[in-house]
Amino acid sequence: MSYDAARYPSLEQRVVFITGGGSGIGAELTRAFHRQGARVAFVDINDAASEALLETLQAETGEVPRYFHCDIRDVAALQAVIADVGQTLGPIHTLVNNAANDDRHSWQEIDVDYWDERMSLNLRPMFFAAQAAARQMIEAGGGSIINFGSISVQMAIADLSAYVTAKAAVHGLTRSLARDLGPHRVRVNTLVPGSIITERQLENWIGPEEEASIQARQSLKMRLEPTHVAPAALFLASADSSAISGQELAVDGGWG
């Protein structure tokens, strides 16, 4: 898929901040916004993947996004990076709350510490990143926050109760923030990926049988990849979606 297929002039030189932007879907988000001419900054904890992505983009475009190693469970550190980006690159226009971890877990073995840790990774950073970035957006006259939900909220998948709970909460967070921030011309939407086949999914959970089952549930009989998700994020960040807020956009191949 070529990102040149849709060009958004409104994203040129806009400051975009992405969580988990070094690998998987996040890496495609970083690539897509960078190729639009946006000024991209991203955080991740996977230094090897992030540095490899930077090298690739340097070779392809002659420029690189800014990478910060940051564990998003550390709210103070996350908000400090967002403040740094605002001061050095300019006010953030687009926040993409992408980072999450869908490790499997047995409901029988979850304790309070594990539950709280899952929320501290899959839900809490979204609010506090939005809190910090929205202040910059308001001062700049508007912006776009894109929270990543998950098709897992609609699916019956075992061993994911904590993750699915966090992702279900994202939908409520989006709608509430959309109402709070709308008067300031800050839009908030949820992007809902379907069963996106990433290297991590293939290594851990999805084999040929599982992939066949996924495509049987999709209206479109195709493998969904990160390159299918990034264009939707570009649209939600661009001026072309200036009247869209508090909504959910699914990229799921017509799941049903």
pLDDT tens, position by position, 81-136: 999 999 999 999 999 999 999 888 899 999 999 999 999 999 999 999 999 999 99
Catalytic residue chosen out of the listed positions 3, 8, 114, 163: 163
pLDDT tens, position by position, 175-205: 999 999 999 999 999 999 988 877 776 666 5
CA atoms 107, 111, 117, 120: torsion sign? positive
**pLDDT score for 223:** 86
pLDDT tens, position by position, 234-254: 999 999 999 999 999 999 999
Domain ranges of the chain: 9-192+226-251
Q: How many Å apart are CA 33 and CA 8, to the nearest integer?
A: 10
187 forms bridges with which residues in the sheet? 144
Active site residue 163: yes
Q: What is the mean pLDDT of the chain?
A: 93
Question: Is the distance from CB of 248 to CB of 147 less than 8 angstroms?
Answer: no
| pTM of the predicted model as reported, rounded to 2 decimal places | 0.94
In CATH, what is the architecture of 9-192+226-251? Answer: 3-Layer(aba) Sandwich (3.40)
